[in-house]
Amino acid sequence: MVLGARHVGFVVVNMAFSARFYEGLGFEPEGPVATESGLTASTLVGIEGVTIRTLKMSLRQSKESIWRESGFRLELIEYVAPLSLKLNTEKNNVVGKGHICLTVDNLMEAIRLVINLGGSAPFNSVHGPSGEPLVSYVLDPNGIPIELSEHVV
């Protein structure tokens, strides 16, 4: 039986750049970048001789930070050996491709912030099926989709 959710992990090309991007969105590292290798890491990810770097991040404390209260984390994963491979598609209908949804107080400001931090906003904003909230997909610098959903009061 599932008891809760611990984190969602995304493979990134450059840990330092990706960490700065997510820090700019309001996440903070929970500790230093960890390096994992050896039999345990190889067995876990199914790649012989793997070396990975991981960083767990959580949202900074705020009154709207429901993820922080739930213990939810974002985990960035950089494959050092073999190197991280970039997904060769921008299509959202690829099986296994995921996204993270963040609640924001102002969608247009959040989109500008994503762009200023090195991400992109190739999709149009729309209202959800019920007319609320205003939502948009943006991409982080690695091409990872982020759904931004404007908080409805």
Q: What is the pLDDT of residue 126?
A: 85
Is there a contact between 22 and 146 (Cβ–Cβ < 8 Å)? no
Q: What is the pLDDT of residue 11?
A: 92
For residue range 122-144, list pLDDT tens digits in order.
888 888 777 778 899 999 999 89
Structure tokens at 119: 């991400």
> Concatenated DSSP letters for 95-147?
TT---EEEEES-HHHHHHHHHHTT-B--S--EE-TTS--EEEEEE-TT--EEE
Q: What percent of the chain has pLDDT over 90?
A: 54
Q: What is the pLDDT of residue 124?
A: 85
Instruction: For residue 38, count other CB atoms closer than 10 A to its CB.
Output: 10
36/94: higher pLDDT:
36
Domain annotation for the chain: domains and CATH numbers: 1-85 (3.10.180.10), 87-153 (3.10.180.10)
pTM of the model: 0.85
Instruction: Give yes or no for residue 2 having a pLDDT over 70.
Output: no
Instruction: Give yes or no for residue 58 having a pLDDT over 80.
Output: yes
Instruction: Give yes or no for residue 63 having a pLDDT over 60.
Output: no
Structure tokens at 130: 């019920």
For residue range 83-118, list pLDDT tens digits in order.
888 766 667 777 777 888 898 989 999 999 999 999
Q: What is the pLDDT of residue 3?
A: 61
What is the distance, to the nearest Å, from the Cα of residue 37 to the centroid of all Cα atoms in its chain? Answer: 23
Instruction: Give yes or no for residue 62 having a pLDDT over 60.
Output: no
Q: What percent of the chain has pLDDT over 70?
A: 87
Name the residue with tokens 């995921």.
98
